[in-house]
Chains A and B, each alone.
Chain A
Amino acid sequence: MPQFDTSTFASQIFWLVVTFAIVFVFVWRVALPRIAATLEDRQRKIADDLARASELAEQTDEVMAAYEARLADTRANAHEELHAAATRSAAEAEKQYAALAEKLGAETAAARERIAAESAAAAGNIDEIAKDIARQAVERLIGSTPDAAAVESAVAASVQEPTS
C-alpha cells in the first residue's frame, strides 16, 4: 500500500505544511477579516434600518396622536360654537317673538278700541236714522209732517224697548 511507504512521508508533510500555511495565512490575514467586516456591516445596516424604522413609526404615532388630539379639539370647539349659536338664535327668536307679540297685542287693543268707538258712533246714528225714517213714514202715511219732539220721544221709547 503506497500509504505506508515511509520514504514519501517527509515530502508529503513538507508540502502539507507549506500549502496549509499559505492558506492559513491568507484565511487569517485576508479572507476572514474581510468576511467578518462584510457581515458586521450588514448586521449594523440591518440594525440601523430597524432602529430608523421604529423611530419613524414612533414619529408617525406622535403625528397621528397630535392629529387626533387636534381633531378632537376642533370637534369640541365646533360643538361649542354650534351650541352657542343655537342658544343665541333661540334667544333672538324669543326676543323677536316677544316684540311681535307685544306689537300684535297693542294693535289688537287699538283695533278693539276703534271698533268700540265706531260701534258707539253707529249706535248714535241709528237714532237719527230711526227718527228720519219715522218722520218720512208718518208723512207718507198721513200726509203731514209730524212734530219733531213727538217723533223723537216715540223713537226713544221704541229704541229703549227691549223687543225681539
Chain B
Amino acid sequence: MASPLEQFTIEPIFELKIGETDISFTNSSLWMAITALVLIVFMVVGTQRRAMVPGRWQSAVEYFYQVVADMVRDNVGTQGRPYFPFIFTLFTFILFGNLIGLIPGAFTFTSHLAVTFALAAFVFVGVTIIGLITHGFKFFSLFFPHGAPIVSAPILVPIEIISYFSRPISLSVRLFANMTVGHVLLKVIGGGVVGLGSFFIIPGLLPFAFLVAITMLEVMIAVIQAYVFAILTCVYLNDALHLH
C-alpha cells in the first residue's frame, strides 16, 4: 500500500529553469492554475448578467463579496477598504484551493508549507510595511500594551515581539497542518475501506461511513481555514493601521 504521504509528492510536468533555480511546472502548479481558472470563470459567469434580481451564480459571487466586505469592515474599518481586493483574493484563492484539493485525485497545494508560508510571509511583510508607513516610529508602540506599567516593559516587550514574529509561522502552519492532516486521515481511512472491503464487503462499510463523515468534516475545515487565514490577515492589518 502506498504511503499516505505520497499524495503530497510534487512531480514536474515540464521542466523549467531560471539560471540555477528550478521553477518547473509541477502538479502543484497545475492545480494552482486550475484553481485560478475556476475562480476566474466563477466570477466571470457570476458578473456577466449584472441582473437587478441576481440568479444563482450572481448570488454566489455577490455572497462572497458581502462576506469579505463585512469581514474587512468589521475587523479593519473603513481604512481597510484599499486592501479589500487583496483580502478577497486571498480568501477565495485559499478557499477554492482547499475545496478543489478535496476532489479525489486532485492535488492540494495549500497542504504545502512553502505555499502557506509564502502567503503568510507576504501578509506579514506587507502589514509591517503598512504599519511603518502609517505610523512611522510610533508603530513600535505595538510591542508594548497600552496602559501597562512601565516596569513591566522588560517582560512584556520581548513577549510581544516574539508573538509578533510568530504570526507568519502560526498563520502558515495552521493552514498547512490542517490540510495535511486532513488528507492523511482521508488517505488512511480510505486505505482501511479498501483493505477491509476487499476482505469482505460488510466490514468495509464501517470505515466507508467514517470516510464520508470525515470528508464532510474536511469540507468544513477547508472553509474554516480559508476564513481564519483571511480574518487573521484582517486582524493584523487592523493592528498595523490602528495600533492598540
Chain A residues packing against B (C-beta within 8 Å): 1-5, 7-17, 19-20, 22-24, 26-28, 30-32, 34-39, 41-42, 45
Contact = CB atoms under 8 A, between A and B. Distances in A.
12 contacts: A1-B8, A3-B8, A12-B10, A15-B29, A17-B118, A23-B92, A24-B85, A27-B43, A28-B86, A32-B88, A34-B47, A38-B58
Contacts of B52: 41-42, 45
A17 B32 CA distance: 10
B187 interface: no
A5 B114 CA distance: 10
A20 B33 CA distance: 9
Nearest to B51: A38
Contact of A2 (B8, B50, B58, B65): B8
Given A19-B35, A26-B40, A8 B114 contact: yes
B85 to A, nearest CB: 4
Nearest to A37: B50
Given A16-B32, A34-B50, A23 B115 contact: no
Given A10-B23, A27-B85, A38-B47, A4 B113 contact: yes
B9 interface: yes
B10 A5 contact: yes
Contacts of B114: 3, 8-9, 12-13
B26 A16 contact: no
Interface string B34-75: 011001100110110011101000100110010000000000
Interface of B: 5, 8-10, 12, 16, 21-26, 28-29, 32-33, 35-36, 39-40, 43-44, 46-47, 50-52, 54, 58, 61-62, 65, 84-86, 88-89, 92-93, 109, 111-115, 118-119, 176, 180
A19 B32 contact: yes
A31 B10 contact: no
A99 to B, nearest CB: 82
B22 A27 contact: no
Chain A interface mostly: helix
A12 B43 contact: no
Contacts of A38: 47, 50-51, 54, 58, 62
Contacts of A9: 114
A1 B114 CA distance: 13
Q: Which of B5, B86, B114, B118 has the most CB of A within 10 A?
A: B114
Nearest to B61: A35
Contacts of A11: 10, 12, 16, 22-26, 28-29
A8 B114 CA distance: 9
Contacts of B23: 10-11, 14-15
B109 A16 contact: yes
B176 A3 contact: yes
Contacts of B35: 19
B65 A39 contact: yes
Most chain A beta-carbon contacts within 10 A, residue among B9, B12, B85, B93 = B85
A12 B28 contact: yes
Contacts of A5: 10
A12 B112 contact: yes
